[in-house]
């Protein structure tokens, strides 16, 4: 497929006239060929009108047809072939194996939702028969099931240009729920977005979906982004990005005449807790594994381990030495955008400048578009009194917090903000402490990982990729795994309505 720089509005292509912009090669900062046209308010209006028009016929389709659409999107993405990978590599700076893996994940999660809706359990149907003879009053026949909420606005994420962008988890789960989707494409990978958007459009046409079930717009956050969230026809929002971006959308959504839910996945420092037994048994080994997790994808994972809480012990010194040495050998990696790379460097500098921070190790340095990994340490008492140390530095930077004992470690845990993940490294001798800590960790995070790191995210029914505020805007939900479909459903009860009158 050819990239033209056009918006996708239902089954048509439209040249955006609100100004041109270019995809940027992450490694060089140079613009890539082909200009993209930003969308206007009129483009947004047309996409919303079509999505609203498509809503009733789309949700009325048999589930098998909806599932076939999802499967077809996966096939169409695969059919893009190496063009997609090459473009995504250029725009994101991510290496080929990572993007090939991410494409696999993207296709698999579309298939997973197709299978999930074929099974039908997501409708959560409950049927209660009438009891006409019940005293003192007869009981009517009651039936409950889930219905889709309406058209959904999806904001592509920069750090997963395939799995959490145009046809990523938010889009797949919303379409699976029966909701049309309008994507605001991320400006950091417009060409990748267009290719995937065209694949979705092709699949929609080929499987006979109503026009408007999917649109994709380029454009300014203030016009297209805010405009989407303000539009009365939009019923929910999926977003992955910064806390500033997410909270701005939350405010807009709450200020509408009819407020709507925003599912924003924002920031997380994903604490890793090292207990004494684990440190003493395998401190050096954990140090190596930690650096591998920290530097994965240039540290640009939402679940990146940015905070280590460790109890003082001989094993901690072994961990520190091993982590420092491994990190020192870590190559600099191209970051997603120049802006992200600069923000990372600023964040590291700011952390470094705090009085109670001691540098532990730096990774290898690279070009101006590459991030240099960084590891610092501090004491628990200092961490507790320095809010700046609790903030996410997006990239491969982490802070080790030395805790005198388990009690001090617990105090730190209770002072943390909500997180996507919390990891706990234990040995057999730590079992009692672990058992006491897990109830704290499950209040803190959406996922608790034992003897591992949160960066491995399975796409499956048991997954929760979510967590208390501010890691997400709504800790009752997940954006990964089959449960993500629930975000776009609401229950309806039918009283004395015979089945033959129910269409869907």
Burial bucket for residue 201 (CB in 10 Å: 0-12, 13-18, 19+): buried
The smaller minimum CB distance to a copy of itself, of residues 176 and 340, is found at 176
What distance in Å separates the CA atoms of residue 99 and residue 423, rounded to the nearest whole number? Answer: 26
* Alpha-carbon gap, residue 434 to 389, rounded angstroms: 25
Q: Shortest Cβ distance from residue 462 to a copy of itself (Å)?
A: 4
| 397 three-state secondary structure | strand
Lookup result for tokens 């340095």: 365
Contact 309, 440 (CB under 8 A): no
CA distances (Å), 141 to each of 123, 498, 500, in order? 18, 9, 14
- Asked if 388 is part of the footprint of a copy of itself (rule: CB under 8 A), the reply reads no
Residue 418 in the binding site for a copy of itself (CB under 8 A) = yes
E strand or H helix at 184? strand 181-184
411 binds a copy of itself (CB under 8 A): no
State yes or no: residue 503 binds a copy of itself (CB under 8 A): yes
Interacting residues with a copy of itself between 123 and 152 (CB under 8 A): 126-128, 136-137, 139-140, 142-144, 147, 149-150
Q: With CB under 8 A as the contact rule, which of the stretches 12-20, 33-41, 392-400, 431-439 interacts with a copy of itself?
A: 431-439
Paired tokens of 327: 């990190």
Tokens standing for 282? 């395998």
408 is catalytic: no
Nearer to a copy of itself, 31 or 461 (CB): 461
**Binder among 36, 475, 479, 485 for a copy of itself (CB under 8 A):** 475
Alpha-carbon distance 472 to 418, whole Å?
Answer: 8
Identify the three-state secondary structure at position 206: helix
Interaction mask 316-335, a copy of itself, x per CB under 8 A: --------------------
Euclidean distance between CA atoms 370 and 68, whole angstroms: 41
Where in 88-117 is the site for a copy of itself (CB under 8 A)? 101
Looking at residue 223, the DSSP 8-state letter turns out to be I
For 10, 266, 309, 347, 356, the CA distances from 383, given in Å and listed in that order, are: 51, 22, 10, 16, 8
Between CA 184 and CA 190 the distance in angstroms is: 10
Q: How many CB atoms lie under 10 A from the CB of residue 329?
A: 11
The footprint of a copy of itself on residues 37-76 (CB under 8 A) is 56, 59-60
Q: Is 460 in the site for a copy of itself (CB under 8 A)?
A: yes
Task: Output the smallest distance, CB 493 to a copy of itself, in A.
Answer: 4
The interface with a copy of itself within residues 330-369 (CB under 8 A) comprises none
Q: Is 494 in the site for a copy of itself (CB under 8 A)?
A: yes
Provide the token pair at 87.
């473009």
Q: Is 129 helix (H, G, I), strand (E, B) or coil?
A: coil
φ/ψ of residue 267, rounded to 5: -130, 150
Six-digit token pair at 20?
């041109």
Q: Shortest gap between Cβ of 144 and a copy of itself (angstroms)? A: 4
d(CA 339, CA 341): 5
Tokens of 74: 């996966």
Q: Please report whether residue 497 would count as binding a copy of itself according to CB under 8 A.
A: yes
Residue from the set 227, 434, 479, 485 that interacts with a copy of itself by CB under 8 A: 434
Instruction: Tell me which of 81, 208, 259, 359 binds a copy of itself, using CB under 8 A.
Output: 259
Applying CB under 8 A, the span of 34-42, 114-122, 342-350, 477-485 interacting with a copy of itself comes to 477-485
Count the residues of the shown chain that bind a copy of itself, applying the rule CB under 8 A. 73
Residue 452 binds a copy of itself, judged by CB under 8 A:
yes
The active-site residue out of 302, 377, 403, 408 is 302
Which is the catalytic residue, given 6, 91, 102, 265?
Answer: 265
With CB under 8 A as the contact rule, the residue among 58, 470, 479, 485 that binds a copy of itself is 470
Can you tell me which of 2, 258, 353, 355 binds a copy of itself, judged by CB under 8 A? 258
Joined together, the tokens standing for residue 323 give 């982590």
Q: CA 472, 478, 480: angle at the middle one, nearest 5?
A: 115
148-207 residues near a copy of itself, rule: CB under 8 A: 149-150
Q: Known catalytic residue: 265?
A: yes
Q: Does 463 bind a copy of itself (CB under 8 A)?
A: yes
Asked if 407 touches a copy of itself (CB under 8 A), the answer is: no
State the minimum distance, in angstroms, from the CB of residue 228 to a copy of itself. Answer: 18
Q: Which stretch binds a copy of itself (CB under 8 A): 2-10, 351-359, 378-386, 471-479?
A: 471-479
Q: Which residues are catalytic?
A: 265, 302
């Amino acid at each position: 497929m050819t990239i033209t720089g056009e918006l996708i509005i239902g089954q048509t292509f439209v040249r955006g006239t609100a100004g041109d912009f270019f995809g940027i090669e992450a490694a060089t900062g140079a613009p890539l060929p082909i200009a993209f046209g930003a969308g206007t308010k009129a483009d947004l209006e047309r996409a919303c009108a079509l999505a609203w028009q498509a809503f009733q016929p789309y949700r009325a389709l048999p589930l098998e047809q909806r599932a076939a659409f999802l499967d077809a999107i996966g096939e169409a993405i695969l059919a893009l072939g190496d063009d997609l990978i090459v473009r995504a590599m250029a725009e994101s700076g991510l290496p080929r194996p990572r993007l090939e893996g991410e494409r696999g994940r993207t296709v698999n999660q579309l298939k997973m939702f197709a299978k999930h809706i074929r099974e039908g359990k997501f409708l959560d149907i409950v049927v209660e028969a009438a009891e006409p003879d019940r005293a003192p009053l007869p009981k009517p026949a009651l039936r409950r099931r889930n219905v889709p909420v309406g058209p959904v606005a999806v904001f592509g994420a920069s750090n997963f240009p395939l799995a959490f962008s145009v046809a990523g988890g938010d889009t797949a789960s919303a379409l699976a729920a029966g909701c049309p989707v309008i994507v605001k494409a991320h400006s950091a990978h417009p060409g990748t977005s267009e290719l995937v958007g065209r694949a979705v459009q092709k699949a929609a046409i080929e499987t006979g979906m109503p026009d408007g079930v999917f649109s994709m717009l380029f454009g300014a956050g203030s016009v297209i982004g805010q405009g989407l969230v303000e539009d009365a026809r939009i019923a929910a929002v999926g977003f992955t990005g910064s806390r500033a971006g997410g909270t701005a959308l939350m405010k807009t959504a709450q200020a509408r005449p009819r407020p709507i839910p925003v599912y924003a996945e924002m920031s997380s420092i994903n604490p890793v807790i090292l207990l004494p037994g684990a440190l003493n048994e395998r401190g050096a080994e954990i140090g190596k594994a930690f650096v591998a997790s920290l530097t994965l994808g240039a540290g640009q994972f939402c679940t990146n381990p940015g905070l280590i809480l460790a109890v003082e012990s001989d094993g901690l010194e072994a961990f520190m030495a091993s982590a420092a040495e491994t990190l020192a050998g870590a190559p600099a990696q191209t970051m997603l955008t120049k802006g992200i790379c600069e923000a990372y460097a600023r964040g590291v500098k700011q952390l470094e400048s705090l009085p109670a921070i001691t540098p532990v190790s730096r990774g290898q340095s690279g070009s101006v578009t590459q991030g240099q990994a960084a590891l610092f340490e501090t004491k628990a008492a200092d961490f507790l009194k320095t809010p700046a140390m609790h903030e996410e530095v997006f990239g491969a930077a982490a802070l080790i917090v030395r805790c005198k004992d388990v009690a001090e470690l617990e105090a730190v845990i209770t002072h943390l903000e909500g997180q996507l993940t919390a990891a706990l490294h234990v040995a057999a001798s730590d079992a009692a402490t672990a058992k006491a800590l897990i109830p704290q960790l499950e209040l803190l995070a959406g996922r608790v990982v034992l003897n591992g790191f949160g960066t491995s995210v399975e796409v499956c029914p048991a997954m929760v990729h979510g967590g208390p505020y501010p890691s997400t805007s709504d800790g009752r939900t997940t954006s990964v795994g089959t449960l993500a479909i629930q975000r776009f459903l609401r229950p309806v009860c039918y009283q004395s309505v015979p089945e033959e009158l129910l269409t869907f």
